[in-house]
Structure 1
Amino acid sequence: MEVPNYGTVVVCPYNNAHQILAERLQKHLVKCRRQYPNAKITACPFNNAHHIPEQELKLHTKTCPDRGQMESFKYAIATTTAPQPQAAQDDDENWDDMDAPAYNPAKYCANNLIIRKATHKTAAEKRQFYEDERVRHEMLKKGNA
């Protein structure tokens, strides 16, 4: 039963006067079971939160909503192993033994229109560096045109 501003409320199977939040039912059932040791109530084999009178247990086990979860484990479909994948390409290739030279960033920057920055240099060294860069860029632009 849904109570506004409170949540879902469930009636205790041991005492109908007890109305408990559904989230706290497990804890309450443990306490009530101690208070009513002579009650002929048993727990459902599919869900321990279902406490049912012993006379209704057979009917409940046939209609329990949690039975499907247990049945899916009981009658599980056998899993088959996946076939081993076949290698479509040759694995003899080794990229470490290439004939091509390694990438040299300094050589690339010197031969392309890359703007470089002078760092860790004095003011005079920076002036000279930027002048050399200007000349280098002009020569590269003439070579590309």
Structure 2
Amino acid sequence: LFSQGTEEEHTNGYEDMVTCPYNESHRIMSFRMQTHLVKCRKSYKNVKLIDCPFNEVHKIPEPEKGYHIQICEDRYSFDKYKYCVTSSVDQPSTTKNVPIVTEEATIAHPYIDEESWENETVTRAYDPIKDHASKKLLIRKVTGMLPSERRAFREAQRLKFEEQQNFQNQ
């Protein structure tokens, strides 16, 4: 049935090919399967498949859910993450030489933060138009204004430029 669609096949010249659970004639490279499933799901709206809880790429029919959950190959990595199943051969224990912090120790020595953001001075934000552009001779292009407003702005800029030029010449 559809659960067979997750079997991988190795062929010469191709990477791992996977069969689409919606249409068995679709053969997709495994790293493209997620993208393909999104597109294929739109074409096959009448096929009702559910997601595997361990791997979103596994699409299975509702009646096969219990069986698939028992045999899913991605269940091991999920269980290993969830239950922290390790052996001394796989991984050394990370809990050695870790100090144990008791509740009494945290009460006796509470953490005191010396930095207070409320005591810092509040400064105004930098506004380039007020701080820099209004004092210098900069040609600015205004957008979002009506033509009459743009004309008035350009005229005010021209007068400002003339005043600053006259002031500098004196």
Q: TM-score, normalised by structure 2?
A: 0.45
**1:1-145 → structure 2 map (5 Å cutoff):** 1-76=9-84, 82-83=98-99
Instruction: After TM superposition, give the deviation of residue 23 of structure 1 in Å.
Output: 1.3
- The residue type paired with residue 99 of structure 2 is P
**CA–CA distance in structure 1, aligned partners of residues 81 and 46 of structure 2:** 34
**CA–CA distance in structure 2, aligned partners of residues 75 and 22 of structure 1:** 28
How many aligned positions are there? 84
Which 4+ residue blocks in structure 1 deviate beyond 4 angstroms?
A: 77-81
Percent identical residues: 43
The 1:82/1:9 distance shift into structure 2, 3 A limit, reads: same
- The residue type paired with residue 56 of structure 1 is E
Deviations 1:125-144 (A, max 9, x none): xxxxxxxxxxxxxxxxxxxx
Q: TM-score, normalised by structure 1?
A: 0.52
Instruction: Give ranges in structure 1 of 5+ residues lacking alignment.
Output: 85-145
